[in-house]
Amino acid sequence: MSQIDAVFATLRNSERKALIPYFTAGDPSLNHTYAILEAITAAGADLIEVGVPFSDPLADGPVIQRASQRALASGTSLSKILALVGKYRRSSEPSSGQALHQRNSPPIVLFSYLNPIWQLGIEKFADQARESGVSGVLVTDLIPEEAEQIKKTFDRCDLDLIFLIAPTSTDERIRKICSLARGFIYAVSRTGTTGTRDSLSGDLKNFIARIRKHTPLPIAVGFGISNREQVATVWECADGAVVGSAIVREIERSVEAHSGKIPTEVDLAKRIKGFVESLIPPRL
């Protein structure tokens, strides 16, 4: 059982759902990223998605695009992110003899395009990710028809390969994706790019039901979820809610509030912790 499996099993036994915050690593710096990881953990996140900045994003809206630009400008790279995640996982609790990916701090899921992983090397990336304590990887532009070799490599390193499923996906494509996925399924709440929205699709429950016909894996919903009410709506039909652009925008606002200067790690961490706490509906 992977750490992601274990978290969802614990939540299911407690009749609870997952909150999965996302933010872009290196925005505004890797030192701030470390502080944000600590803040999000303290706020009660069940899993954490860490975005790998990329120069040519396809699925990201303007908020995350700007975050990627800031992160790349600060010198962020995939290798540096893996090193930072390893540092965080080692320091998040006393050593217990467990491998980093088996620790009890929230599982880390890397959210990346294929190109940065390809540039590092699939085998090298998988080995380093496992050594750093990464639990899963979501490759946004990896299609199932081209996933076989990556899946074999990730399986060897006990990395959960997570896929996106869009509302426009046919039942046959949903079945194919579910046959390859591990950890959980990321259901895209709507077509288009990432970004906050005032409301969620009225067809969300039917979409989740379509996916459940093809897999026993937990289903998390993302894209456009930005407040407590929307998290609660997602929790009614899915196993987890991913909040990304709203958190990234909060980081950007913190910079703006300091007249364009980078806030201290303490100030930014405090702001993000409070914002993530505000997203959590009452739990039983």
- Which tokens belong to 30? 């890797």
- Which tokens belong to 271? 């702001």
Residue 236, H or E segment: none
Vertex 51: Cα angle to 181 and 154 (nearest 5): 35
Alpha carbon distance 279, 281 (integer Å): 6
DSSP string of 146-193, one letter each residue: G-HHHHHHHHHTTPEEE-EE-TT--HHHHHHHHHH--S-EEEESSSS-
E strand spans, the chain? 18-24, 48-51, 108-112, 134-139, 160-162, 164-165, 185-188, 219-222, 240-243
Alpha carbon distance 23, 58 (integer Å): 17
Q: Pick the catalytic residue from 60, 160, 239, 252.
A: 60
Q: Do the beta carbons of residue 250 and residue 272 sit within 8 Å?
A: yes
Q: Pick the catalytic residue from 27, 49, 250, 252.
A: 49
Instruction: Please say if 60 is a catalytic residue.
Output: yes
Instruction: Please say if 49 is a catalytic residue.
Output: yes
List residues with catalytic annotation. 49, 60
